[in-house]
């Protein structure tokens, strides 16, 4: 009797065998189609289970089977699935290559809707790789194609990704027509899920354009919708967004209450990174009001929560806030120690972000100077200068040069009084 393990391995081997035929030899279509269908079924099953590394080679075998059959539509499907697996496994470069191949086949068979969906997936991989201009261009190429698809929900999704990307890049005015269209589409489709997301994105656009009251209204609409849908994490995010808008509106006490509510929600959700962000904001409000003991408590807890969550970017920001509070209490040695930890972390989380690394080094150099550690301050300024020059970003180089000029000016001994003539 053949054991189950052997049978399982044999079944997988059969799935991975492509359709072989020599030049001029007819493919056994019936057998090939059955084999391709089996490969697709098994790969889809593994994909749904999140076993992307196991699904990938089976999708690749299916793609070979579909190509041998000349089945362009299903070959494009297999290529798209391959790209999705590669993206899930963190290989965005390969994902882009696979998805571009799928797009070429979709255009060959004149399926503009699927070609637009390929663009949507390609753009997201490009954005993850930090290629923002390229990602935006790909989304803009895909949106007109998605508008011709039978299923319009992906057009709404693409426009919302465009909106959030443009807002993050300081181009909120360009984002407005996309978020407006996404809201209209979600309403037409009677899609409460996407409409809530569109309201949230619209609030971000309004806030970025300085229209704080409309932003708060949008965030409130989105929060109510998220709560009705049982989307607790998104509802908590809206609480934080509303609180941030109230700060901009000059309503610190109302903002404090909303940040505190957001912190409770994120603690309940065990979202340590978001909780740290809320606590940092609370510490900042206490700091502005000169409630330094409360500020120190909130900032210290923000660092603790980010550390426990292993959210290093949030820990960096929490440490910067804690250092600000320590400086306000004239504890400059404490601020230096806190920022030293932040600098060590920033090397890991922002290796490709010279502006962020320079910002933190200049902050630490200032703290060193205030703690009367001028040799250390000069060291940090030199490190910042090296990073800026390596980046070849002229504005960044000038920022560091200006910081050094200010430092040198502070170090000059006062001029001796001139004798009376």
Indicate which CATH number applies to the domain containing 268: 1.25.40.10
Last residue of a domain, one of 345, 361, 396: 345
Cβ neighbours of residue 40 closer than 8 Å, sequence gap 6 or more = 62, 74, 77, 78
Q: Is the residue at 319 inside a domain? A: yes
Q: Is the residue at 180 inside a domain? A: no
Same-domain pairing of 257 and 360: no
Which whole-number Å values give the CA distances from 61 to 20, 71, 89, 106, in the listed order? 11, 14, 18, 19
Average pLDDT across the chain, whole number: 90
DSSP 229: T
Phi-psi region of 21 (alpha: psi -120 to 50; beta: other; left: phi over 0): beta
Q: pLDDT tens across 1-14, in order?
A: 333 333 333 344 43
Nearest to 202 by CA among 187, 230, 181, 226: 181
Q: Are 120 and 160 in contact (CB under 8 A)?
A: no
Same-domain pairing of 329 and 371: no
For residues 384 and 382, what is the distance between their CA atoms, to the nearest angstrom?
Answer: 5
Q: Is the residue at 60 inside a domain? A: yes
Same-domain pairing of 236 and 300: yes
Q: What is the domain count for the chain?
A: 3
Nearest to 197 by CA among 175, 178, 176, 219: 219
What DSSP assignment string belongs to 271-294? -HHHHHHHHHHHHHHHHHTT-HHH
Q: Is the residue at 316 inside a domain? A: yes
Same-domain pairing of 46 and 136: yes
Q: Is the residue at 324 inside a domain? A: yes
Last residue of a domain, one of 345, 373, 397: 345
DSSP 148: T
Tokens of 29: 């279509």
Q: Is the residue at 222 inside a domain? A: no
For residues 373 and 75, what is the distance between their CA atoms, to the nearest angstrom?
Answer: 65
Q: Are 280 and 254 in contact (CB under 8 A)?
A: no
Range of the domain at 96: 32-150
Sort 97 into a burial class: Cβ within 10 Å, 0-12 / 13-18 / 19+.
middle
Q: pLDDT tens across 319-370, in order?
A: 999 999 999 999 999 999 999 999 999 888 877 789 989 999 999 999 999 9
Which whole-number Å values give the CA distances from 180 to 7, 150, 166, 208, 241, in the listed order? 55, 20, 14, 15, 19
Tokens of 135: 């990602």
Q: Is the residue at 159 inside a domain? A: no
Same-domain pairing of 265 and 294: yes
Same-domain pairing of 264 and 355: no
Same-domain pairing of 60 and 137: yes
Last residue of a domain, one of 120, 150, 180: 150
Same-domain pairing of 104 and 59: yes
Q: Mind listing the pLDDT tens digit of every residue in the chain (421 residues)?
A: 333 333 333 344 435 544 444 444 455 788 888 989 999 999 999 999 999 999 999 999 999 999 999 999 999 999 999 999 999 999 999 999 999 999 999 999 999 999 999 999 999 999 999 899 999 999 999 999 999 887 789 999 999 999 999 999 999 999 999 999 999 999 999 999 999 999 999 999 999 999 999 999 999 999 999 999 999 999 999 999 999 999 999 999 999 999 999 999 999 999 999 999 999 999 999 999 999 999 999 999 999 999 999 999 999 999 999 999 999 999 999 999 999 999 999 888 877 789 989 999 999 999 999 999 999 999 999 999 999 999 999 999 999 999 999 998 875 544 444 444 3
The count of C-alpha atoms lying within 13 angstroms of the C-alpha of 349, restricted to the half-sphere facing its C-beta, is: 16
Q: Are 147 and 131 in contact (CB under 8 A)?
A: no
Same-domain pairing of 366 and 338: no
């Amino acid at each position: 009797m053949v054991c189950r393990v052997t049978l399982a391995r044999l079944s997988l081997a059969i799935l991975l065998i492509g359709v072989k035929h020599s030049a001029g030899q007819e493919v056994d279509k019936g057998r090939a189609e059955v084999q391709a269908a089996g490969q697709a079924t098994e790969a889809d099953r593994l994909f749904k289970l999140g076993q992307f590394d196991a699904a990938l080679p089976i999708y690749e075998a299916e793609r070979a089977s579909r190509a041998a059959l000349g089945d362009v539509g299903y070959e494009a499907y297999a290529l798209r699935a391959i790209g999705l697996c590669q993206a899930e496994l963190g290989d965005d470069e390969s994902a882009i290559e696979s998805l571009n191949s799928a797009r070429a086949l979709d255009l060959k068979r004149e399926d503009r809707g699927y070609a637009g969906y390929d663009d949507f997936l390609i753009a997201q991989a490009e954005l993850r790789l930090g290629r923002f201009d390229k990602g935006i261009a790909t989304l803009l190429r895909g949106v007109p194609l998605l508008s011709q698809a039978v299923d319009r929900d992906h057009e709404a999704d693409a426009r919302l990704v465009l909106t959030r990307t443009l807002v993050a890049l300081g181009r909120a005015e360009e984002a407005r027509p996309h978020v407006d269209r996404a809201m209209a589409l979600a309403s037409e489709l009677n899609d409460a899920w996407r409409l809530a997301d569109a309201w949230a994105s619209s609030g971000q656009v309004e806030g970025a354009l300085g229209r704080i009251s409309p932003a708060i209204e949008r965030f409130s609409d989105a929060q109510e919708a998220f709560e009705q849908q049982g989307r607790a994490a998104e509802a908590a995010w809206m609480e934080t967004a509303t609180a941030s808008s109230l700060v901009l509106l000059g309503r610190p006490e109302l903002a404090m209450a909303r940040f505190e509510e957001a912190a409770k929600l994120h603690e309940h959700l065990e979202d340590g990174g978001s909780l740290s962000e809320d606590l940092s904001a609370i510490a900042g409000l206490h700091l502005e009001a000169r409630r330094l003991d409360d500020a120190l408590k909130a900032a210290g807890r923000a660092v603790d929560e980010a550390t426990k969550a292993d959210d290093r970017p949030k820990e960096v920001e929490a440490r910067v806030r804690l250092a600000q509070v320590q400086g306000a209490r004239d504890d400059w040695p404490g601020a230096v120690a806190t920022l030293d930890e932040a600098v060590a972390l920033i090397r890991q989380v922002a290796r490709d972000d010279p502006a962020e690394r320079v910002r933190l080094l200049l902050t630490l150099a200032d703290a060193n100077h205030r703690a009367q550690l001028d040799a250390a301050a000069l060291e940090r300024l030199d490190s910042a200068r090296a990073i800026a020059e390596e980046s070849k970003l002229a504005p960044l180089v000038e920022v560091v040069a200006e910081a050094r000029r200010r430092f040198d000016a502070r170090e000059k001994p006062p001029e001796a009084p001139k004798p009376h003539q």
